Amino acid sequence: MGDGFSLHERLAADTAPVAELTLCSLRLMKDARFPWAILIPRRADIREIHQMTQADQRQLLAEITKVSAAIERDWRADKMNVAALGNMVPQLHIHVIARFEGDAAWPGPVWGAGSTEFYGEQALAETIARLNAALRAA
Amino acid sequence: MGDGFSLHERLAADTAPVAELTLCSLRLMKDARFPWAILIPRRADIREIHQMTQADQRQLLAEITKVSAAIERDWRADKMNVAALGNMVPQLHIHVIARFEGDAAWPGPVWGAGSTEFYGEQALAETIARLNAALRAA
């Protein structure tokens, strides 16, 4: 963390911590409608994937594919959505979202669709535990 | 192309060809509101990035970052959006979209926002040529 990285306050507010991976902080979006992970590389002042070193890009890719495959398998997702948008939050973060036919935004994108449904305290803890277990099994 | 890949008909209809890269077909979305490239790995029966071999994943990443950096620079984009969604088209394809503060969907995502504005024939040809030139300069 010595290079000045600190989590953007908007990401800190909208997500809950799950695990610290080699490059990224893995967090869970606080929206119970979708199994929705966020990966944030712990690098300061990076807004685009192509601004990262090649080594960091490869590590990011490895973490994206590991998280995506783990969620797909454990939640039996119909489709994974993987996206780096960042129009609102100027800190690189990658969305990894399990989608299901007939979910609250299907087949459209999740961003801007309907209203957030917050987890209850126990459901949030259980979902974080489930995501960690899925990653360990990956 | 010997492994049975053929471009999905929906992608063929919605996009115009730009260039054949090492792994991907690079195409332009026929929506004049956004500089919007699509990368389609020429691999059959792949729907998720994590289904690809590690070598293909790395090549895909290299092509994504090259295209993204070239568009960002040439169009002076405020933000690049990079996404693999594929809820509607069951063939892996990556969106690489230049975004501008105040564009037709800003700061929301482009998918499902408003109505497509088609290029005129000359503008389409000019945009394809510009994208190719930006890639050569990359």
pLDDT in tens, B38-88: 999 999 999 999 999 999 999 999 999 999 999 999 999 999 999 999 999
Mean pLDDT of B92-108: 97
A 50-69 residues inside an 8 A Cβ radius of B: 50, 57-58, 61, 64-66, 68-69
Check the CA dihedral B109-B112-B118-B124 and report its sign.
positive
- Between chain A and chain B, how many beta carbons pairs sit less than 8 Å apart? 90
- The one-letter amino acid code at B99 reads R
Say which of B58, B65, B83 has its CB closest to residue A82: B83
Per the prediction, chain B carries an average pLDDT of 96
Assess B81–A contact: CB distance below 8 Å, yes or no: yes
Instruction: Find, among B76, B70, B80, the residue nearest to A86 by Cα.
Output: B80
Residue B66: list chain A partners with CB under 8 A: 50
> To the nearest whole percent, how much of chain B has pLDDT over 70?
99
Per-residue pLDDT at B1: 47
Per-residue pLDDT at B112: 87
CB B32 within 8 A of CB B123: yes
Q: How far apart are CA A75 and CA A71, in angstroms?
A: 6
Q: How far apart are CA B135 and CA A37, in angstroms?
A: 32
Å between B3 CA and nearest CA of chain A: 23
Say if residue B2's pLDDT is above 70. Answer: no
Average pLDDT by consecutive 10-residue portion of chain A (138 residues)? 84 98 98 98 97 96 97 98 96 98 96 94 98 94
> E strands along A34-75, which residues?
36-41
Helix (H) / strand (E) element for A61: namely helix A54-75
Assess A10–B contact: CB distance below 8 Å, yes or no: no
Per-residue pLDDT at A15: 98
pTM of the model: 0.96
Mean pLDDT of B88-94: 96
Instruction: Find, among B79, B93, B1, B106, the residue nearest to A92 by Cα.
Output: B79
Q: Is the ipTM of this complex over 0.85?
A: yes
Helix (H) / strand (E) element for B24: namely strand B24-29
Task: Give residues with Cβ within 8 angstroms of B104, minimum separation 6.
Answer: B33, B34, B110, B113, B114
Per-residue pLDDT at B138: 80
Tally of helices (H runs) and strands (E runs) in chain A: 3, 5
